[in-house]
Amino acid sequence: MTQKTKSSKKATGMKQAFVENTAAIALAMKHQAAEGSFPDERQRLIAEAAYLIAEQRDFQGDLAFDDWLQAEAEIDALFADQH
């Protein structure tokens, strides 16, 4: 197996794990929002998602801001789907 294949499989696996936890994350976000602590939890979830996005591209380039915006949109969409 080539290094590129290993990296691709790792990224795919990480993305799949993130997707599989989507329902649990959204439920936790809904619960946190009900308790009034959603902003802190939202920031944490966005940070984790942005890290995964950056990791999938092997942290190449100076795209941290773009990663954050993408993660923010994904997390907010998850939360919106739960309402």
pLDDT digits (tens, 9 = 90+) for 33-59: 655 556 778 888 999 999 999 999 899
User: Between the CA of residue 75 and those of 5, 60, 67, 69, what are the distances in Å?
Assistant: 28, 23, 12, 10
Half-sphere exposure of 78 (CA within 13 A, CB side): 22
For the chain, the three-class secondary structure string (H helix, E strand, C coil) is: CCHHHHHHHHHHHHHHHHHHCHHHHHHHHHHHHHHCCHHHHHHHHHHHHHHHHHHHCCCCCCCHHHHHHHHHHHHHHHHHHCC
Q: Which residue has the higher pLDDT, 83 or 47?
A: 47
Predicted TM-score of the model (pTM): 0.55
pLDDT > 90 fraction of the chain, expressed in percent and rounded: 31
pLDDT for 40: 78
Q: Which residue has the higher pLDDT, 3 or 74?
A: 74
